[in-house]
Amino acid sequence: MKLLHTADWHIDVKLAQIEKPRLDEHKEVLDYIVSIIESQKIDILLISGDIFHRPIPSFEAEKLFAEFVVKVSGDLKVPIFGIAGNHDSAMKVDSISILFNKINHNNRLLSLTRSPEEKDFDNMVLNLEGFSVAGVPYLSPYKYNYKNVYRDIFEKWVRKLYDRVPKDNVLIFLSHDTVADAKFSGSEYMDASEKLNKDILGNYIDKIVYWALGHIHEYQKIEDTPIPTVYPGSIIKVDFGEKNSKKYVVVVEIEKKDRMPSLKPVELPSPRNLEEVVIYGEQDLERFLERYKEEKEKTYFKLKIDKTRLHDRSIKKISELDVIKEFAGRITKDISESISGYVSKNIKDPIKVVEKYCQEKNLFLSEDEKNKLREIIELLRRKNEEN
């Protein structure tokens, strides 16, 4: 049995100051996911929350999701089991699920518009031959309103779902939660939700063989857990906290109940890069504008701008660019931070070290600045020789 674990799609996300839809990125990645489902002969697709980025997604976003579901569950006959995340509107997901379930009778798209009654738990479990999938959709902390309660609610619901799984089936469990020791990307929306202990499913290891998590945008396998506990991460770079991240989905293969599943992260394409650039002055700006002409169709830029060193006409020019802009007062070039990492056996000249640092950080180092550095280095050498 093969499952494909995905999470945090964030369809309809836009970058601040850039109101350009990113649906073309999502379409490219979702098409790639369809190709993985076909080539890997996936038995079921998991979506661990945050299908959409907004509570009320655009018509185009809903259409893109519907087209994907028709391809996967209609054409390929692969069921999809998904849960709502903190970005999803429970009522919107609930309404979408009506047609979603009609496309394939084994599809499930779960949300919580209220506390579930006993009969609701039956729909939160999908029992197939040899394996079952169950999930707890995101529950807003404002619904239970005080601390140290969610853990109790979560455990109570896990038990109810566990009891609905046939004795000989393995269980794959989905939730959209923060687990202890998870590493954040910086792009996640943080609310008052309580962190779950990473051994919270330890009492159910006779059936649960995989915890398919969503919410954290960095791919990671949580260490020292009783069962494999994995965040696949978001499928595109949602914001600049993820600018250096690679994106993955996870193929989970389960052969026998008494064996640990094998996990294979599959890297996804990144249709657009995210890059931060610091503009200290006119020369930096001119150099950036040349890059912008060549790369604006494949990179979203975030500029941190020292407006004290730019002419008014340059600031106006920046304001017309389709980039994120952060204007600041005087910015100091602090090249001491992490510069030691650029020192190597191959680069002994201090000026070369600084040049390499500036090049990789997209900083402009003028000839005047190089000459001043040489004067300072020479002065320090002389003082050292005198001592």
Residue 345 is predicted with a pLDDT of 47
Q: Residue 88, by phi and psi: left (phi above 0), alpha (psi -120 to 50) or beta?
A: beta
CATH of 2-267, one of 3.20.20.60, 3.30.420.40, 3.60.21.10, 3.30.70.20: 3.60.21.10
Residue 33 is predicted with a pLDDT of 98
Residue 163 phi/psi, 5-degree rounding, is: -70, -15
Give the type of residue at 320.
E
Taking residue 333's Cβ as centre, other Cβ atoms within 10 Å add up to 15
Give the type of residue at 178.
T
Residue 166 is predicted with a pLDDT of 95
* Contact in structure between 1 and 43 (CB atoms under 8 Å): yes
For 26-44, give one letter per residue: b (16+ CB within 10 A) or e: beebbebbbebbeebebbb
The angle, 0 to 180 degrees and rounded to 10, between the axes of the packed helices 90-103 and 59-69 is 30
Distance CA 192, CA 90 (A): 18
**β-bridge mates for residue 47, sequence order:** 6, 82
Angle at 138 between CA 132 and CA 140, to 5 degrees: 155
Angle at 228 between CA 225 and CA 230, to 5 degrees: 105
- Dihedral sign for Cα 268, 242, 57, 157, please: positive
Residue 347 is predicted with a pLDDT of 56
Residue 360 is predicted with a pLDDT of 65
Low-confidence ranges of the chain (pLDDT < 70): 142-148, 191-193, 257-258, 329-348, 359-365, 383-387
Residue 335 is predicted with a pLDDT of 44
Residue 217 is predicted with a pLDDT of 97
Closest CA to 323 of 276, 385, 362, 290: 276
**Which tokens go with 255?**
């052969």
